[in-house]
Structure 1
Amino acid sequence: MNNDHQKPHAIVIPYPLQGHVIPSVHLALKLETKGFVITFVNTQSIHQQITKSQPNHSDTFGDDIFTDSRKSGLDIRYVVVNDGFPLGFDRSLNHDQYFEGVLHVMSAHADELVGETIKTNPPPTCLIADTFFVWSSMISNKYNLVNVSFWTEPALVFTLYYHVDLLRKNGHVGSLDTYFIYNREDTIDYIPGIGAIEPKDLMSYLQASDTTTVVHRIIFKAFKDVKNADFIICNTIQELEPQTISALHEKHPTYAIGPIFPTGFTKSVVATSLWSESDCTRWLDTKPPGSVLYVSLGSYAHVSKNTIVEIAQRLLLSGVSFIWVLRPGSINSDETDVLLVGFEEEVKETGLMVPWCCQIEVISHPTVGGFLTHCGWNSILESVWCTVPLICLPLLTDQFTNRKLVVDNWKIGVNVCDNKQIKAEEVAETIHCLMNGKLGDELRKNIEVVKNKLENALSTDGSSQVSLEKFISDVKIKTQEKCASAMCQQLNSSANHG
């Protein structure tokens, strides 16, 4: 008997954004080492962008990001799927139009791809799709696959979205059919598994007056669909969000299996970056330990020229050394010269400006002592692992809620974004105190506690390892149940036609 037929085979489909692709790649690698065959699916656009970002890339479209992994014997197949738009279409510039396509068109291409994958050996047994996809249950049911929803953000954010109808009922979130209503501003204290939370700490989409945008429609539809999932896996750990995860598990089988990092927390052997990475190591090696502030606002958000100018002013006033990642296309403007006149000349000894870099390599360098961040979840987990305290400047989506965890719950970072108005002198003083004073010492002490929880969770008998093994076991049981059910249906159909 071919042992391949006994192996679980997972189709893994990340949402087509950098912050979702990275943990999905490392989830795929982790599951393969646990005995899974993996078919990993990128959109053609994401694949092309990753390929072009690599040094000495070829212009052929056939590069496979898992080639090096397979050399070590890993059984990971790699395919690309059309997202509904031609490769030349500017998805960043035409954000809303693009996501209308992700909402309405991409499902047909994903359906076709899964249908083709069913014919491979061994055939797939489960679909692991990002929670934000709205079609997971439809495709899973069609092909009799175990339906696994992969959540790349904290369980707190998942739970708030999961209970959006309850938030609407209580007037804290606007109706899908209503423009520009005023949401309640009092404390929210009725969501299962969540203590009191202020409306300002909700995700930006739940704070919005207009909840009819394409992103809102995706979120609301996705969180209806996720209630049909067989299992939910989260890139978090039980010890960080115990009540939230336990409450979720009562409604749905939920497994906290994070933090999902590359093996050894080193630069991944699988290319995941959408932009070419600058090597900052030589510059960092010239600086004293803990003296450099890393500044990055992530891979997704667009910011105004004014925000960039304000950050530059704060860095100048603080007097600290810094690496600043200014991503290509991140400015909401056609202007190319967005920095203060003379800024780069003034900071040429203390500052390094780069378009993109390998974040893990930078923040794990001993000279980095702080991180001015947008509060993306990957960035928070990576910073904790490197015991780098955070200066929080959330911009949109889950980042405001992540900030609450960082600043209020775990006390491993500081706010510089209350009321969306920041005085330059105050922020500069905060940066200086974090890098050179008692504030930084206190935050690092707290961050060591959180890091220990992450390390313990990933140990042999740790909560995340136990959850992962339980998840794998439950997937195998569910697969057998689905196969048995399908066989019974076939027998009944044959008998009825006999």
Structure 2
Amino acid sequence: MAPNKPHIVCLPAPLQGHISPMMKLAKLLHSRGFYITMILTEFDVARLATSLAAESPIQQGLNDFGFETIPDGLPPHNKRGVLDLPELANSIQGDETNKALKSVLMRLNASSHIPSISAIISDITMFFALGVGKELGIPMLGLCTTSACGMLGYLQYDELIKRGLFPLKDESCLTNGFLDTPIDWVPGLIKGTTMKHLPTFVRTMNIDDTMFNFLLATVRNSSTTEGLIFNTFYELEGEVLEEIKTKIPNLYAIGPLSLLCKQVIEQELLPLRSNFWKEDTNCIEWLDKRSPKSVIYVNYGSLAILTSDQLEEFAWGLANSKQPFLWVIRPGLVEEEFGAILNNKYREEIKGRGLISGWCPQEKVLQHPSIAVFLTHCGWNSTLESMSDGVPLICWPFFAEQQTNCLYACHEWRVGVEMEEGTVRRERVEEVVREMMEGEKGKELRRKAMEWKFKAEAATRPGGSSHSNFDKLVNYLM
């Protein structure tokens, strides 16, 4: 190990969709000669160790890549699911986590075996790290794991307060058309953006709402970092990025990270994985037996939760479409017992054309030639990975900035068709699936998705916008 290597500390937020892009960025920087320390919460390290067993990322002997842990402030019995996010948002900013991070950074800097820390790259939601970094004289850049359009939505939170649009006056605002109020004062947001397309933490009557104020603090603190890194590319979100630049000038759009990783020789990228659940690789063998562009892939991501009614409507909508499908039902997706819904009658109905999986290697699935369309919650990792592989979307946004991603996917990038958020009807599921698999709309969106795939590949090749921005980021960090 060269003692003069630049040393980057990577601090992801303790959520699946945040750890994955940070891990990719860390591996890319490591391939460029950086010493990396990844700091994860104790709870997440335990989850990763359980899911990966012998392949745990907390491995000894990795060359110039170390792991450290800090507490997240929550008790061990807390599930850290989507309903626990307000508790996590409060605890992660607490004294316990703050002191633990400072202690780890001081110990790393005092070590004679590793280089001194050059910079921290922190998930922007871990904004307490900014104060710790300043106290220790360590510069910090932020990784924004949302889309740029989602981030621009969060950047409107201050303005919503000023304009009297937040908090909502009463509960009727959720149903009386108030959410159709146009957001027409932001140059980077597309025409037709309304309150309902903004990240969903605005939908509350409580001015002290934990998540609204947590995200408000996140974007305010983002503007005081040394710069922001985005998992997107200029050809996709250039106008939005330019608008963000008016508030946060130093931006690096280096996505899609999954494609940028492909530009690095495989042997140079560490084989580190970051899944909270054990991957079921049998689904790839199942897909191998399907015809090209014949399968619907269904996955609602790592946080969304469905009611048993929603699950049942999705189940019979997919079954009644008579199309082959691969459906991921991860642990915790449904709060209630769902075994009765996916009963013997249902399994008999879908026999030979439907596969239900607990978790799967999503990037491999989306790259598989048999996949025709992705029914998704519109989380940013899923949306970008799908477009990177030329797969169009059926959009069923759940929360946060997924509504913004859905708006852009359907109306700006023209790769998706929207299924109304919330309520699910099996007739609508069947109708949309058939339209995407058999209709002209599906063909049109597939063509558009392939265009974005080629643009994403070009952006991440040497000379492309994202590849060049990554070079700039490396030079800055050096």
TM-score (norm 1): 0.87
After superposition, the Cα gap between the structure-2 partners of 1:335 and 1:425, relative to the gap in structure 1 and judged at 3 Å, is: closer
Contact 1:458 1:464 in 2 (8 A): yes
Within 5 A, what are the aligned runs for 1:71-470? 74-92=63-81, 94-104=84-94, 105-120=96-111, 121-174=114-167, 182=173, 185-196=180-191, 197-252=193-248, 253-261=250-258, 263-264=261-262, 269-279=271-281, 280-334=283-337, 336-339=339-342, 342-417=345-420, 420-470=422-472
After superposition, the Cα gap between the structure-2 partners of 1:87 and 1:423, relative to the gap in structure 1 and judged at 3 Å, is: closer
Matched AA of 1:106: T
Contact 1:65 1:271 in 2 (8 A): no
The CA RMSD over aligned residues, in Å, is 2.4
- Tell me the SS of whatever aligns to 1:332: coil
Q: Aligned-pair distance for 1:35?
A: 2.6
Contact 1:394 1:403 in 2 (8 A): yes
After superposition, the Cα gap between the structure-2 partners of 1:124 and 1:214, relative to the gap in structure 1 and judged at 3 Å, is: same
Contact 2:124 2:142 in 1 (8 A): yes
Matched AA of 2:21: P
Contact 1:181 1:209 in 2 (8 A): no
Partners of 1:268 and 1:281 in 2: how far apart? Answer: 23
- Tell me the SS of whatever aligns to 1:49: helix
Query: Are 2:14 and 1:16 aligned?
Result: yes
Q: Which residue of 1 aligns with 2:3?
A: 4
Q: Which residue of 2 aligns with 1:496?
A: none
After superposition, the Cα gap between the structure-2 partners of 1:137 and 1:99, relative to the gap in structure 1 and judged at 3 Å, is: closer
Deviation sequence 1:387-406 (CA, Å, 0-9, x none): 11110111111111110111
Q: Aligned-pair distance for 1:337?
A: 3.3
Partners of 2:227 and 2:275 in 1: how far apart? Answer: 29
Partners of 1:99 and 1:211 in 2: how far apart? Answer: 16
Contact 2:245 2:251 in 1 (8 A): yes
After superposition, the Cα gap between the structure-2 partners of 1:331 and 1:195, relative to the gap in structure 1 and judged at 3 Å, is: same
After superposition, the Cα gap between the structure-2 partners of 1:95 and 1:156, relative to the gap in structure 1 and judged at 3 Å, is: closer
Partners of 2:104 and 2:187 in 1: how far apart? Answer: 38
Q: Aligned-pair distance for 1:428?
A: 0.7
After superposition, the Cα gap between the structure-2 partners of 1:99 and 1:41, relative to the gap in structure 1 and judged at 3 Å, is: same
Partners of 2:307 and 2:92 in 1: how far apart? Answer: 26
- Tell me the SS of whatever aligns to 2:93: helix
Partners of 1:94 and 1:198 in 2: how far apart? Answer: 28
Q: Aligned-pair distance for 1:13?
A: 0.6
Partners of 2:466 and 2:119 in 1: how far apart? Answer: 21
Deviation sequence 1:365-416 (CA, Å, 0-9, x none): 1111111100111111111122111101111111111101110101101011
Deviation sequence 1:183-215 (CA, Å, 0-9, x none): 664211112433331222111112334353332
Contact 1:368 1:388 in 2 (8 A): yes
Deviation sequence 1:439-473 (CA, Å, 0-9, x none): 22111110112112211110111111111222233
Q: Aligned-pair distance for 1:3?
A: 5.5
The count of corresponding residues between Structure 1 and Structure 2 is 462
Partners of 1:146 and 1:96 in 2: how far apart? Answer: 28
- Is the radius of gyration larger for structure 1 or structure 2? 1
TM-score (norm 2): 0.90
Deviation sequence 1:293-348 (CA, Å, 0-9, x none): 11100001122111101101211221111111001011122565343662122212
Contact 1:309 1:340 in 2 (8 A): no
Matched AA of 1:115: M
Runs (5+) with no aligned partner, structure 2 = none
Higher deviation after alignment, 20-29 or 447-456: 447-456
After superposition, the Cα gap between the structure-2 partners of 1:249 and 1:4, relative to the gap in structure 1 and judged at 3 Å, is: farther
- Tell me the SS of whatever aligns to 1:118: helix
Partners of 2:395 and 2:475 in 1: how far apart? Answer: 39
Contact 1:66 1:270 in 2 (8 A): no
Q: Aligned-pair distance for 1:133?
A: 1.3
Q: Which residue of 1 aligns with 2:43?
A: 45
Partners of 1:91 and 1:421 in 2: how far apart? Answer: 25
Deviation sequence 1:14-37 (CA, Å, 0-9, x none): 110101111000000111122321
Contact 2:297 2:326 in 1 (8 A): yes
After superposition, the Cα gap between the structure-2 partners of 1:19 and 1:184, relative to the gap in structure 1 and judged at 3 Å, is: closer
Percent identity of equivalent pairs: 28
After superposition, the Cα gap between the structure-2 partners of 1:195 and 1:366, relative to the gap in structure 1 and judged at 3 Å, is: closer
Contact 1:129 1:148 in 2 (8 A): yes
After superposition, the Cα gap between the structure-2 partners of 1:55 and 1:38, relative to the gap in structure 1 and judged at 3 Å, is: closer
